[in-house]
Every structure is written in structure tokens, then in C-alpha cells.
């Protein structure tokens, strides 16, 4: 059994949902966390999770979706969504450093506020953070995101650095704060990432695809989907000199441990024969 701890499959057309889920199940991917990037998108993630028993929702506002700091009304809506029984993580939130990204002030304030909501609801956070060079603030001589994680005591709820592709020194800082490192298909092509894959304790590794509609790929069959998780597991097994079965076992255990109080529901569902809830 494998769990894709970070995807955006609800962003596909609803006509595709069932096929995507079935392709994943055929590859032994029995649990998928599909994460919202805005309030409305988070509602859609919850909707998909309410239809498919092996889909679980993440809610949050991605830093690149901000048009201002999240206001009181926004935060109330996010907190209400966080109380849904389909939600298992606060995701996707974080800090983005691309030139076209929204104001750093908006991002920092919104990241802090969403972490506080996560703490209120005992939800682990799955956060967006680029490699250490991109996250280094020369003015303060420190990592913006890591500083926020420290100052907010986000390690109390735990979570993971999603789609991690930074250096081992950066990964170690996050591990020391109590977070997991989530690896994706970039592990198969970024050789510098192998050091992190080898040094991270097996108890702190998660797998993901970050799957979303990849419209830039004209061939639909080449779009990344949760069915591709075994590719990541296979590469990780190869690097660590172990078996895919062992990787399946420890990454699934890690995912369940991360979501803590909400894990019994996930465990019971992914152990059953999965079908749409309305089937």
C-alpha cells in the first residue's frame, strides 16, 4: 500500500476523477491527499474527498494565490473548512520566492495565520518552500520559511516540506524542527537530491506526486498522476539498497503517523476495498 501525500487531482475535470483514482488503485496507491490552493479550491478538494473514500483533503491558500494578506473573513472560512471530517492536512501553504510572487509581507502574515489555524485543529502542515538558496533572505541573513516555522512553533503539529528538492543541509534544518521530507519524481533526475534521500531517516520520508493538470504536456498519457508514486518508491529503494515493499511500509507508516488523530479513519478506509462513496 502506498500513499500519495500531496497532489491536486481535484483540479482535473470531474469527468476524469474516477479514471485517475482507478489508475492509482491499480498501482497499489490506496490513499491520496489532494490539496487546495485557495478557499474555493479547498472546497473542491473536500468535495472530491466526500465522493471517493480513499481521497483525503488538504485545505489552505497557496502563497501565489494571494491578492492581499488573508483577512478575518478568509481566516474564518479556512478554519471552518479545517473542521471537515474529510480534511487531514493544512495544505498547501508556505512561502514562494519567484519574481512574480505576491508581496513578501502578505505571504509571511498569511503563512503565520494558517499555521495558527492548523494548530487550533491539530492539523499537520504540508508547506511550499523552495531550496535554501531561494529561501535565504540576505537582509535578515536567515531562511524566511524556517524562521516562520520556528517562531510559530509549527513543529507542534508537524507536517512536511512538500516536493523537496533542496540540499541536505536545508533538509536537516527541517528535520530538526520535527518535519518530514516529501520526495517526488524529481528524485529520479536531480542527483544532488540523492544525499537527502540517503541521509534522511526512514521514519521521516514521505512520497508524493504533486499531480495536477499538466496542460503544458500535449500528450495526456504523460501527465503525472498518483499512479506514478511507485516510480518514486522504486528510485528510493534503489538508492537506499532496500526493497520497494520496505519503502511502501515505512512511508505509509510515516504518513499515518503524521496525521496522528485522523489516522484511524484513513487506516480503516485504505485497508478496505475502495470504491466511490456513491457507488
Structure-model confidence comparison of residues 251 and 269, the more confident one: 251
CA distance 96 to 99: 9
Domain ranges of the chain: 2-270
Question: Which residues in the chain belong to E strands, given as ranges?
Answer: 2-7, 29-35, 55-59, 87-94, 125-128, 136-137, 142-143, 159-161, 180-183, 205-207
Determine the pLDDT at residue 166: 85
Confidence of residue 274 (pLDDT cuts 50, 70, 90): very low
String of DSSP letters for 97-146? --TTPPPHHHHHHHHHHHHHHHHHTT--EEEE---TTTTEETTTTEEHHH
Q: List Cβ neighbours of 174 (8 Å cut-off, separation of 6 or more).
A: 146, 149, 161, 181
Residue in the block written with cell 510572487: 101
Say if residue 154's pLDDT is above 90: yes
What are φ and ψ of residue 127, in 5° steps?
Answer: -115, 150
Of the candidate ranges 157-161, 170-174, 236-240, the one whose mean pLDDT is the lowest: 170-174
Structure-model confidence comparison of residues 28 and 274, the more confident one: 28
Compute the average pLDDT of residues 72-97: 96
Say if residue 30's pLDDT is above 60: yes
Q: List Cβ neighbours of 73 (8 Å cut-off, separation of 6 or more).
A: none
Determine the pLDDT at residue 131: 45
Of the candidate ranges 3-7, 131-135, 255-259, the one whose mean pLDDT is the lowest: 131-135
Nearest to 167 by CA among 201, 207, 194, 205: 194
Determine the pLDDT at residue 167: 87
For 2-270, CATH gives 3.20.20.140
Determine the pLDDT at residue 144: 80
**pLDDT, tens digit (0-9, with 9 covering 90-100), for 112-123:** 999 999 999 999
Determine the pLDDT at residue 136: 53
Determine the pLDDT at residue 267: 80
What's the chain's Rg over C-alpha atoms? 17
pTM of the model: 0.93
Compute the average pLDDT of residues 56-72: 97
Instruction: State the average pLDDT for the chain.
Output: 91
Determine the pLDDT at residue 99: 77
Say if residue 239's pLDDT is above 60: yes
Local structure of 162: helix, strand or coil: coil
Amino acid at each position: 500500500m502506498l500513499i500519495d501525500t500531496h497532489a491536486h487531482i481535484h483540479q482535473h475535470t470531474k469527468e476524469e476523477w474516477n479514471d485517475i483514482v482507478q489508475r492509482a488503485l491499480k498501482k497499489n496507491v490506496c490513499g491520496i491527499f489532494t490539496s487546495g490552493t485557495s478557499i474555493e479550491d479547498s472546497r473542491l478538494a473536500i468535495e472530491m474527498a466526500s465522493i471517493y473514500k480513499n481521497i483525503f483533503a488538504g485545505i489552505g491558500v497557496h502563497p501565489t494565490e494571494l491578492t492581499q494578506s488573508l483577512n478575518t473573513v478568509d481566516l474564518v472560512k479556512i478554519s471552518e473548512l479545517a473542521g471537515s471530517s474529510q480534511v487531514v492536512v493544512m495544505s498547501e501553504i508556505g512561502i514562494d520566492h519567484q519574481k512574480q510572487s505576491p508581496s513578501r509581507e502578505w505571504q509571511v502574515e498569511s503563512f503565520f495565520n494558517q499555521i495558527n489555524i492548523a494548530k487550533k485543529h491539530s492539523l499537520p502542515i504540508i508547506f511550499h518552500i523552495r531550496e535554501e538558496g531561494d529561501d535565504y533572505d540576505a537582509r535578515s541573513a536567515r531562511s524566511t520559511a524556517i524562521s516562520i516555522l520556528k517562531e510559530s512553533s509549527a513543529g507542534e503539529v508537524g507536517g512536511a516540506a512538500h516536493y523537496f528538492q533542496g540540499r541536505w543541509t536545508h533538509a536537516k534544518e527541517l528535520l530538526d524542527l520535527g518535519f518530514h521530507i516529501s520526495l517526488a519524481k524529481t528524485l529520479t533526475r536531480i542527483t544532488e537530491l540523492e544525499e537527502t534521500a540517503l541521509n534522511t531517516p526512514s521514519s521521516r520520508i514521505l512520497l508524493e506526486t504533486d499531480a495536477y493538470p499538466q496542460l503544458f504536456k500535449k500528450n495526456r498519457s504523460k501527465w503525472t498522476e498518483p499512479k506514478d508514486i511507485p516510480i518514486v518508491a522504486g528510485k528510493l529503494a534503489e538508492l537506499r539498497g532496500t526493497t520497494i515493499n520496505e519503502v511502501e511500509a515505512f512511508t505509509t507508516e510515516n504518513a499515518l503517523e503524521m496525521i496522528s488523530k485522523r489516522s484511524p479513519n484513513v487506516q480503516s478506509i485504505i485497508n478496505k476495498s475502495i470504491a466511490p462513496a456513491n457507488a
